[in-house]
Amino acid sequence: NMFRRFFAEGAFNAAFVPMFAKKLEGEEGAGKFARDAFNGLALVVLALTALGMIFMPGLVWLTAEGFVGDARFDMTVEFGRIAFPYILCMSLSALFSGILNATGRFAVAAAAPVLLNIFVIAAMTFAALTGGDVALWLIWSIP
């Protein structure tokens, strides 16, 4: 949640949107600014995502020490590795939403979370109806 709050919902977008809006008003290369922000954000978050996935056992040990030596530890590591790319997807989605909002395209930006919810509900429903592992389907539907 800390990475998601910082990159996808918090500090990055709070800094990016006003600067992008200012570039739009002044014709100072808003497109280049957005591309540079996208490339920088993607590079940093991709590196953090890769590191998080590689060192997931250590992250789980730090945050859920009581799971060590338990079946929950392995399951948490597996689910964490599946779900960790969500940070990359949500960070880039938040950047695109900021661009859309700054250019007055509010409906498109608001539709993205709705689509995510539809996919999550569909995955859980499919798993429940077919006798699948609902938790596993849920974790795969997020990234």
DSSP-assigned letter for residue 83: H
C-alpha 127/C-alpha 140 separation (Å) is 11
Q: What angle do CA 132, 83, 109 make, to 5 degrees?
A: 105
pLDDT, tens digit, for every residue of 88-116?
Answer: 888 898 899 889 988 999 898 888 889 88
Nearest Cα neighbor of 55 from 92, 84, 75, 91 is: 84
Single-letter code of the amino acid located at 97:
S
pLDDT tens, residue by residue, 45-104? 999 999 999 999 999 999 888 898 889 999 999 999 998 888 888 889 889 988 998 899
The dihedral sign for the CA sequence 30, 31, 36, 39 = positive
pLDDT band at residue 9 under the 50/70/90 scheme: low
Distance (Å, whole) CA 55 – CA 77: 9
CA distances from residue 45 to 20, 30, 88 in whole angstroms, order as listed: 20, 22, 6
Fill in the amino acid letter for 91.
S
In angstroms, the Cα distances linking 137 to 9, 102, 116 are: 25, 35, 14
pLDDT at 99 (0 to 100) = 92
